[in-house]
Structure 1
Amino acid sequence: MTLHPAIAPMRTTCPYCGVGCGVLASPDGRGGVTIAGDPVHPANKGRLCVKGAALGETLGHQGRLLAPQIGGQTASWDQALDLVATRFRDTIARHGPDSVGFYVSGQLLTEDYYVANKLMKGFIGSGNIDTNSRLCMASSVAGHRRAFGSDTVPGLYEDLELAEVVVLVGSNLAWCHPVLFQRLAAARAARGTRVVVVDPRRTASCDIADLHLALAPGADAALFNLLLAEIHARSLDCGENIDGVEVALAAARATDPAQTGLTRAELAQFFDLWLGSDKVVTVYSQGVNQSDSGADKVNAILNCHLATGRIGRPGMGPFSVTGQPNAMGGREVGGLANMLACHLEIENPAHRTAVQNFWNAPRMAERPGLKAMDMFRAVEDGRIKALWIICTNPAVTMPEADRVARAIAGCDFVVVSDMMAQTDTTRLAHVLLPATGWGEKDGTVTNSERRISRQRRFLPPAGQARDDWRILAEVGRRMGWRDAFDWQHPAEVFAEHAALSGVAGALGSDFDISDLAGIGVAEYDALQPFLWPQSAARCGGRFFGDGRFHTPNGRGRMVAVTPRAPQALDAAYPFRLNTGRVRDHWHTMTRTGLSPRLSRHLAEPFLEIHPADAARLDLAPASLAEVTSPHGRAILRVLVTDRVTPGHPFAPMHWTGETAPSGRVDALVPGRVDPVSGQPALKSAGVAIRSFAARWFGFAVCAGAARPDCDYWAKAVLPRGQQLELAGQEEPGDWTEYARALFGLKGEPLMIRDRARGLVRLAFLQDGRLQAALFVAPEPVALSRSHVAALLTEEGGLDLLSGRPGADRPDEGALVCACFGIGVNSIARAIATQGLTSVEAVGRALRAGTNCGSCRPEIGALLQAGMACRAAAE
């Protein structure tokens, strides 16, 4: 056996949310990688959430796109790049520069983003480049620009630890930004920081809340308008150098408290907490931004901080937290259709000229391009005839996802650059270009506190994959602009970006990292995390604490906000669906879906629905619900819970055509957008719900690939195969033949059938070892899924078809702690038998909740249930 030396740990940055955690990646020389938190990175100081900790499980070549493809056939890079350059060049010649578009991603590195923006806006000459960050943070950008004159995040992560009160608005920080949640929880434990959660749902973040305000959906602006009016009533307005105060106050005083759905006592408690301490941080995220009035909601929050002067000083300020690893970096290079590089304004002729001169560009975009929703409408009606989609999956993630998929399918020429070979979007492309992924890429990202960190390559590219910036630059060269795109190393791209920021800084831009304009390869390789700006004038720190803003007159601006209720529901669609994320998955699971432990917590798409609604609709727990809107249809597993309010169910957005075709939730969401930011209202869809009339339900495991053929299926990866949840409205005539087709296996299975009860259980063995099993029942299948999954490739007989572990093999139950693989039954047993009374005690006994901490709210709920049982017994 050949031994390969281990490689020294590589300092890099996590590719998931916008926290931007530092990671130590240690390749073992045999294809494996050990992952740990970087103890010296300022964002996480060694902490990682379970997704980050599991990164080593997601780095294989399974499912990767390994070579260019044209029309579904393998092609050379030269063939593919020549075709892309030729088709884009010809389309522009015939129909003008606005006939093409780029749709890119907050998962790109800054260097990738910079090259894409330069190619489209400065050389093709169109503004038609937009990004999936439009779906998550565009309203924050718009609010910042209206209030501050620039897209500037004023504060730093350490403000969460310095604050006396932290308000989470539309942010389930515990699940979506777990490391920041850990920092906040630690501050609360150490300093008594008080926490308010403003969210219609009772989320995991409420675990540490001193006050949970379950306000009416969409009422965020009304709440902060009322706070602004209270600020004035208590004579606490102390913000200086601010315009628009009187008109903002007039709108605030006109707001009806009933819009919030909160009691006067709840409002008074919130006002007293917010106004009773100087050091207040208001953290907001998708629950605020993803709205057709998201920009106004952002400005309602900013108004309160501006009015009180609680901004840009230690422990105080509004704080937008981003959902993608480089949403901020994309904004910095002009990745949004309505911005120029380095926070310059595309509408400003002086800014356009400065960038054009710097780039020596032949034809600069003269106006904003099409924002995401408008871009796909233009694809649909034929105005955009050539489209390049990079590092994102809009056929799943865009509102009206089915309509978007049809638009892409009808486009004259579609290029998709991606890591993965099979996604809902790659299936629609004429040309596929294999891109490098995390661990193979080399560049920079910017987190939510403006900290720029390096992502470093520690693995070779998979197959023929290339970096996105190299692909874009090569197309630029083949379109005739060789000198402008002739970089050889990402350090050169970064240095050019930094030099352009110096031009922007001279024009008054907040974004200036010109100290790094002369950076070389060695310095770039050694670059440590730093806060922008970094220039001769200023290095890092907070913004606006000195009362100076980036507006033409240097004054901050309060914006008059008239709260708008969400669009009225149609009688045919009487439920308002909220969408979001789950704890252990991210985006469309092309990465997290490869990790068995991340798939064990919540393995299929589901609908959280209030018990009163479930009873009225005759929806039993674990049954299936059919959810419809005017735009699409989904089938989801029913989860009955009072975490949601009546009439307002919730569903996560992660599942795709690869993992659960009927669980594509964004197919239900309408394409309404905020008129200021262009951000879609992804958190609000009018839907109808009814029971899905399945005649049979199934659960299956298999060591190989499965080919489901039924009305509902959801797939999740296991350590030695995969598991499937199945259901259908028509029962197969022959279950053995169905199972053979499902698993692609021949031979006679072991079989138990109870015709009277409608039960079927089949198992395929090879050399005495389980290869696949199928369990069928007329109701949702009840068995120990973790036990059955653990039997794959083990020896067994008819006893394995019991679906339950023996007395000598305790059933872990559903996974709670993904870090240490601890299930609900193990925790419940320990609580009952050891008399555990705190989350800390459970941690000492089982280790559960002692690493990333994301499962602590669920452990707390189990403790409450255990104590209730003991109390009832006494």
Structure 2
Amino acid sequence: MSTTHTTCPYCGVGCGVLATPQPGGSVQIAGDPDHLANFGRLCSKGSALGETLSLDGRLLHPEIADHRVTWEQALDHVANGFMSAIREHGPQSVAIYGSGQLLTEDYYVANKLMKGFIGSGNIDTNSRLCMASSVAGHKRAFGSDTVPGNYEDLEQADLIVLVGSNLGWCHPVLYQRIVAARTARPGMKVVLVDPRRTVSADIAELHLPISPDGDSALFVGLLAYLDHLGVTDSNYISAYTKGFEAALLTAEDWTVERVAAATGLSPLSITRFYDLFARTKKVVTVYSQGVNQSASGTDKVNAIINCHLAMGRLGKPGMGPFSVTGQPNAMGGREVGGLANMLAAHMDFTPEAIDRVSRFWNAPAIAQAPGFKAVDLFAAMTRGEIKAVWIMATNPVDSMPEADAVRAALKACPLVVVSDMNRHTDTMDLAHVRLPAAGWGEKDGTVTNSERRISRQRPFLALPGEARPDWWIIKEVAHRLGHAAAFDYGGPGEIFAEHAALSAFENHGTRDFDLSGLVGADYDSLAPTQWPVRAKPAARLFGDGKFFTPDGKARFLPIQPPPPFAPVPGSFILNTGRVRDHWHTMTRTGKAARLSAHMAEPFVEIHPADADALGIRRASLVRLSNRHGSALVRALITDRQQRGHLFAPMHWTDQFASNGRIDALVSAKVDPVSSQPALKMAQAHAEPISVRLYGFVVAAEKPALTTDYWAIAPATNGWRAEIAMLDEPADWSAFLASTFGTDAAFQSIRDERSGRRAFVLIERGRLIAALYTSPDPVLVSRQWAVDLLKEADLTASLVLAGRPGADRPDGGAIVCACLGVGINTIVDAVTRHGCTTVEAVGALTRAGTNCGSCRAEIRGIVDANRLIAAE
């Protein structure tokens, strides 16, 4: 079968992927060794892409009010609904909420329809939740939303400062590029600035466990320190920048001692970091959601940029500020104006740009001002100002702050249209009109990664059912709204050609985003390309000291750090984020059994001292709550977490857990400049839950879970689930029948002393279902029990025992998701085979030899068991 060169649909690294359909219907996935983003590497999520392509749960036909309809009926309904709202309430009464999962061509058509022809700025995207503060900070400093450098700078730097970025889990391929560079050049240093001691601390010489929102103070203090040492580049500042004196005037009172008070860091560690930054010429500061997802995120971005400008460390090999995006096409969405405050081709709502784009599109009714941004959009919906909303490829009922309020807003909206792959998401369940969209492997277009590299996503699968590309769906609605001539596209190549032409229109090098060199290029064979694409290409921008401000000079911003964040007494600071093997709301990764093997249920990290004070035991259940909502999660007690702080991942939804929607607890407080919500800093109470019985389930068919707590995940050949009950079922037979959908008799055992029970149903030697319960968290090896679903000659006694016999080694909980290596296998490599390094473990077991994002965990296992091995 032929191999297709395409691009990964996950994070902003933008890895090249080779996809080869197999005769049996599966797809072989490999990294593209020629793609400059990853050189053949893939993370655990990318490696498992082939396991996410099934049609299980796909929306395959249009629906209106839960009834299957034709495309003609669905498109007419959407167009008529939007037309009616516009006629009665004006163009500001309708909106589109998009996603970094859209391809650039999809984004372009959606933005053109809303801003150019409906005449409203009301198109925003979940990219608002991940990088809007970077956009705003770039524009304030550079006059444009420009990421100056590229990935090579990470390998050429002598100091990398990771700020609010768990690169090891969230961008593993970039992290491994840094690890390889540091191995080759041991003098290379890494500093991690993060409230948590994440796995990224594994390669850091210095971890600064900063207080929430302390980043501005840290970098404002750094600016003052650099000036005090006399190491700033006065020639660069004079020739290429403005505003240094004002920025320094704000910063000069921020002594090391004052920074220590604002950040919770020791003066010694602050001085050590400052000295490293001052004496190292090649410095790259990598920042991500810990900076952006803040009520002062834009100021944090500019505080970082200020320090690089002051040292002249910008636009040169191995140096510069580097925003790493979370979404695969967050950058592409920015390029085409997918944010409510942008027009198109990186142009703003200025009179000149409005006129230029209006003439290019021949759109006399073009929007004249920005529209509602994400948080404001759903607030306006709550107020009844939005009468029709079209949501594309995203799940705001789970990903938005104050998610319960977002759910209520959608319930109140007269017309909710959702285009998505999946029939069941928490957002899709509220849709009046459901439109089946193409998914990864079926879509044709481009995405742009964090280093401004445009890559093709190419299809290698046929469109299933009646699924259609997003651009086509939008085009068809535009035709019905009376704009057929402006949306006469025959394919994504035509859309990209128009996008490139707009970027070049009346540009002449005056705007950063310029694809003039791709006008007329062959779309099908387009190779990964960094913009700008002019006659003289530039991998790094600003190396010549020329910026996109009116006078061509970069701007320093005077930054006043906010006061230290103090939670309400008795509450915790709740930080939200990602885990290694899952992506956003799990609509894709939730299909792959091995991606749930490492972490299969929602959890909260809590410091041991805090857990002890609250009476929270290891692996028990915890209720998190505040005035916005609540969640029920598993306790993960760890000293990686600071006292008074909690961390919980944002992935779990009502499709995968009984009450795990963490963003329901996050306040909708936003940055005043970027309108990006402060998803990293909620306040929440934590309390233990009194549970009568904990349980673990494995089943060949998906069980119907109705217990007080449950979390479900796919397993190879079946399903796995964690459950908990506040009261024991009065009738176990009835409970088993309703849960597993069978009246067959289960065999069972009970230990009267411990209160533990096991129930098992085996048919013809195969496991149909098993349930283990205990008054305490169940001790059964999950991976061993899950692997029983693959066995063909089981006995009830083996399964009821809840542990493997001597002839069935238990690999233990999965550590390396890429290669399915468990903790017991790694411990055995250390204690029995004498492996004393991560490399030795990898050579014996293959653990950590693919994406490497588990290497820090393997190192911890090696260190914890080295003494045992020496005995």
Please say if residues 22 and 38 of structure 1, whose CA atoms lie closer than 8 Å, have aligned partners that are also in contact.
Answer: yes
Shift of 1:504: 5.5
- 1:376-398 per-residue CA deviation (whole Å, 9 max, x = no partner) reads 00111100010000000000000
- Name the residue aligned to 1:426: 428
- Name the residue aligned to 2:691: 694
- Name the residue aligned to 1:144: 138
Distance 2:140 2:722 in 1: 48
Shift of 1:123: 0.4
- Name the residue aligned to 1:26: 20
- Name the residue aligned to 1:293: 296
Distance 1:799 1:507 in 2: 72
Matched, 1:343 2:343: no
Match of 1:400 among 399, 402, 426: 402
Matched, 1:204 2:206: no
Match of 1:415 among 403, 407, 417: 417
- Name the residue aligned to 1:667: 664
Q: Matched residue of 2:862: which SS? A: helix
Distance 2:480 2:777 in 1: 57
Which residues of structure 2 form unaligned runs of 5+? none
Matched, 1:581 2:578: yes
2:244 corresponds to which letter in structure 1? V
- 1:353-389 per-residue CA deviation (whole Å, 9 max, x = no partner) reads 1001100113111111111000000111100010000
- 1:180-234 per-residue CA deviation (whole Å, 9 max, x = no partner) reads 0010000100012111111110111111111111111210111111110111011
Shift of 1:89: 0.7
Please say if residues 13 and 174 of structure 2, whose CA atoms lie closer than 8 Å, have aligned partners that are also in contact.
Answer: yes
Distance change (3 Å), C-alpha of 1:566 and 1:260: closer
- Name the residue aligned to 2:184: 190
- Name the residue aligned to 1:315: 318
Distance change (3 Å), C-alpha of 1:518 and 1:110: same
- Name the residue aligned to 1:3: none
Distance change (3 Å), C-alpha of 1:292 and 1:61: same
- Name the residue aligned to 2:246: 247
Matched, 1:782 2:779: yes
Matched, 1:769 2:766: yes
- Name the residue aligned to 1:860: 859
- Name the residue aligned to 1:705: 702
Q: Matched residue of 1:730: which SS? A: coil
- Name the residue aligned to 1:276: 279
Please say if residues 497 and 517 of structure 1, whose CA atoms lie closer than 8 Å, have aligned partners that are also in contact.
Answer: no
Which residues of structure 1 form unaligned runs of 5+? 1-6
2:387 corresponds to which letter in structure 1? K
- 1:252-310 per-residue CA deviation (whole Å, 9 max, x = no partner) reads 12332211211111011101111111100000000000000000000000000011110
Distance 1:429 1:10 in 2: 34
Residue pairs, 1:804-823, within 5 angstroms:
804-823=803-822
Distance 1:651 1:504 in 2: 48
Please say if residues 228 and 304 of structure 1, whose CA atoms lie closer than 8 Å, have aligned partners that are also in contact.
Answer: yes
Please say if residues 547 and 554 of structure 2, whose CA atoms lie closer than 8 Å, have aligned partners that are also in contact.
Answer: yes
Residue pairs, 1:479-490, within 5 angstroms:
479-490=481-492
Moved more, 763-772 or 730-739: 763-772
Please say if residues 331 and 343 of structure 1, whose CA atoms lie closer than 8 Å, have aligned partners that are also in contact.
Answer: yes
Moved more, 766-775 or 83-92: 766-775
Distance 1:540 1:436 in 2: 34
Please say if residues 716 and 789 of structure 2, whose CA atoms lie closer than 8 Å, have aligned partners that are also in contact.
Answer: no
Distance 2:316 2:395 in 1: 39
Q: What is the root-mean-square deviation in Å for CA atoms of aligned residues?
A: 1.2
1:202 corresponds to which letter in structure 2? R
Distance 2:653 2:564 in 1: 27
Shift of 1:868: 4.2
Match of 2:331 among 328, 331, 336: 328
- Name the residue aligned to 1:562: 560
- Name the residue aligned to 2:609: 612
Residue pairs, 1:173-188, within 5 angstroms:
173-188=167-182
Q: Matched residue of 1:341: which SS? A: coil
- 1:798-852 per-residue CA deviation (whole Å, 9 max, x = no partner) reads 2211110101111111100112111001101110012211111111111111111
Distance 1:557 1:68 in 2: 50
Residue pairs, 1:344-363, within 5 angstroms:
344-346=347-349, 348-363=350-365
1:517 corresponds to which letter in structure 2? V
Please say if residues 830 and 869 of structure 2, whose CA atoms lie closer than 8 Å, have aligned partners that are also in contact.
Answer: no
Distance 1:757 1:268 in 2: 55
1:36 corresponds to which letter in structure 2? A
Residue pairs, 1:680-691, within 5 angstroms:
680-691=677-688
Distance 2:36 2:687 in 1: 49
- Name the residue aligned to 1:156: 150
Question: Scaled by the length of structure 2, what TM-score is found?
Answer: 0.98
Distance change (3 Å), C-alpha of 1:74 and 1:801: same
Match of 1:84 among 56, 75, 78: 78
1:65 corresponds to which letter in structure 2? L
Distance 1:575 1:442 in 2: 45
1:312 corresponds to which letter in structure 2? G
- Name the residue aligned to 2:34: 40
Shift of 1:787: 1.3
Matched, 1:529 2:532: no
Distance 2:126 2:390 in 1: 13
Matched, 1:98 2:96: no
Please say if residues 221 and 300 of structure 1, whose CA atoms lie closer than 8 Å, have aligned partners that are also in contact.
Answer: yes
Distance 1:396 1:566 in 2: 29
Please say if residues 655 and 661 of structure 1, whose CA atoms lie closer than 8 Å, have aligned partners that are also in contact.
Answer: no
Question: Scaled by the length of structure 1, what TM-score is found?
Answer: 0.97
Q: Matched residue of 1:649: which SS? A: strand
Please say if residues 172 and 203 of structure 1, whose CA atoms lie closer than 8 Å, have aligned partners that are also in contact.
Answer: yes
Distance 1:624 1:276 in 2: 48
Number of residue pairs matched by the alignment: 860
1:233 corresponds to which letter in structure 2? H
Please say if residues 750 and 798 of structure 1, whose CA atoms lie closer than 8 Å, have aligned partners that are also in contact.
Answer: no
- Name the residue aligned to 1:678: 675
Q: Matched residue of 1:700: which SS? A: strand
